[in-house]
């Protein structure tokens, strides 16, 4: 049996960013170091603009390999404490944690890892999505993102920078820039926060929520009483979260969107 250390050292997928025709994207491999496999495995991809490959975890749902359909994609963005080069850190919280414990999801899940000291950048996430769509069978109208703390900020920034990438976002104890919220008015939000968060104050995400609502956006906001900066624990146990993500569909077609 392959050891966990060996598995972490051998990425499942090393994708270039070639864009094959749509009828060829169903191939089981694309410049792969190892064949695709269902379940959650280490993953890396060469993203334009990055000196080193992006690393993380790729989860393929049961039935993916035998199917010809396009699948929903959920992108999970971790917090500041999970940065570095130890992929096991990414499975400490949220959806990749649950996948590592045997959860079966009806979607493709990608959980990239940031190197130490970096923050999530909307332009990099936009380029990553293009690579994923080139190498995997992804339904472009059913791409959603969720993240916690630093990842919550990243999810908000991605949605305001490239709103046509996403069908919905579920940020946890993060925040966006209130003045940017009208850019993503068509992107539904299901957000979570702890009332007693002293790291990312509730008021920070509340300001983003209020600004988006003022623009006419669709927003659900769950605030957990007596919870500090750990709202991801109840948030990712919310039985309504996965059905909400799966119900999202992009409401307008993909367009070329330059990050401001």
HSE toward the beta carbon, residue 13, CA cutoff 13 A: 28
Percentage of the residues of the chain whose pLDDT score is greater than 90: 80
Q: Which residue has the higher pLDDT, 125 or 3?
A: 125
Range of the domain at 192: 4-247
User: What are 176-232's pLDDT values in tens digits?
Assistant: 999 999 999 999 999 999 999 999 999 999 999 999 999 999 999 999 999 999 999
At which residue do the structure tokens 């669709």 appear? 218
3-state secondary structure of 105: coil
pLDDT at res. 13 = 53
C-alpha 182/C-alpha 178 separation (Å) is 9
Under the banding of pLDDT at 50, 70 and 90, the label for residue 12 is: low
* Cα–Cα distance for residue pair 221/199, rounded to 1 Å: 18
CA dihedral of 117, 151, 180, 74, whole degrees rounded to 10: 130
pLDDT in tens, 130-187: 999 999 999 999 999 999 999 999 999 999 999 999 999 999 999 999 999 999 999 9
Residue 241 falls inside a structural domain: yes
CATH number at residue 204: 3.40.50.1820
Is residue 253, in this structure, part of any structural domain at all?
no
Neighbours of 55 (CB within 10 A): 18
Question: So what's the pLDDT on residue 140?
Answer: 97
- pTM > 0.75: yes or no: yes
Residue 258 falls within a domain, yes or no?
Answer: no
Specify the pLDDT at position 36. Answer: 82
User: What is the per-residue pLDDT across 18-73, written as a single tens digit (0 to 9) for each?
Assistant: 434 344 333 333 333 456 889 999 999 999 878 899 999 999 999 999 999 999 99
**9 vs 198: which has the higher pLDDT:** 198
Q: Across the chain, what does the average pLDDT equal?
A: 87
- Residue closest to 221 by CA, chosen among 170, 146, 161, 186: 170
Mean pLDDT within 229-244? 98
Give how many domains the chain has, as a whole number: 1
91 within domain boundaries: yes
Torsion sign (Cα): 194, 197, 201, 203: positive
């Amino acid at each position: 049996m392959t050891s966990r250390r060996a598995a972490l050292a051998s990425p499942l997928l090393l994708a270039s960013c070639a864009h094959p025709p749509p009828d060829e994207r169903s191939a089981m491999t694309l410049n792969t170091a190892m064949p695709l496999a269902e379940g959650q495995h280490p993953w890396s991809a060469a993203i334009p603009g990055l000196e080193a490959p992006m690393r993380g975890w790729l989860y393929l749902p049961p039935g993916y390999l035998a199917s010809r359909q396009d699948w929903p994609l959920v992108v999970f963005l971790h917090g500041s404490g999970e940065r570095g080069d130890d992929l096991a850190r990414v499975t400490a919280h949220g959806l990749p944690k649950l996948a590592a414990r045997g959860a079966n999801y009806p979607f493709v899940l990608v959980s990239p890892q940031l190197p130490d000291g970096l923050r999530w950048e909307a332009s990099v996430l936009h380029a990553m999505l293009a690579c994923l769509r080139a190498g995997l069978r992804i339904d472009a109208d059913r791409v959603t993102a969720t993240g916690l703390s630093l990842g919550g900020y990243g999810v908000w920034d991605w949605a305001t920078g490239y709103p046509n990438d996403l069908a919905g976002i579920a940020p946890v104890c993060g925040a966006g820039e209130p003045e940017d919220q009208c850019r993503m008015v068509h992107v539904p939000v299901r957000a979570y926060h702890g009332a007693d968060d002293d790291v990312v104050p509730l008021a920070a995400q509340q300001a983003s929520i209020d600004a988006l609502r003022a623009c006419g956006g669709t927003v659900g906001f769950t605030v957990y009483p007596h919870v500090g900066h750990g709202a991801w624990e109840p948030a990712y146990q919310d039985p309504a979260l996965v059905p909400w993500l799966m119900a999202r569909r992009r409401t307008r077609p993909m367009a070329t969107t330059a990050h401001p």
